[in-house]
Amino acid sequence: MGQKLQQGDRFPLITLKLLSGGTIKLPEEMPSRYLALLFYRG
């Protein structure tokens, strides 16, 4: 378990596979001014 992120931190570099095809590289490829990013249990 890594360090928790808090307000003011920069989101770490991760690449997520999208169901729509392709990937999204965060935080480089923010799709909009704000992003609600939810990691759910599955």
Partner 1 sequence: MRQLAAYEKQKAQLGTMGCSILIASVDTEEQARKVVQTQGLTYAVAYGCTKAEGDAIGVWWGNHPPDGEHMQPAEFLLGRGGAVLGSMYASGPVGRMAVEEVIHSIESRERSRLRGEKEQQQQGSRQP
21 counts as binding partner 1 under rule CB under 8 A: no
The rounded distance, in Å, linking the Cα atoms of 29 and 40 is: 21
Q: How far is the CB of 17 from partner 1 (least distance, A)?
A: 5
Q: How far is CA 24 from CA 1, 3, 33, in A?
A: 23, 22, 15
Q: Which tokens in the block code for residue 23?
A: 């990937």
Q: How far is the CB of 10 from partner 1 (least distance, A)?
A: 5
Q: How far is the CB of 29 from partner 1 (least distance, A)?
A: 9
Q: Which residues in this chain contact partner 1 in the complex, by CB under 8 A?
A: 1-14, 16-20, 24, 26-28, 30-42
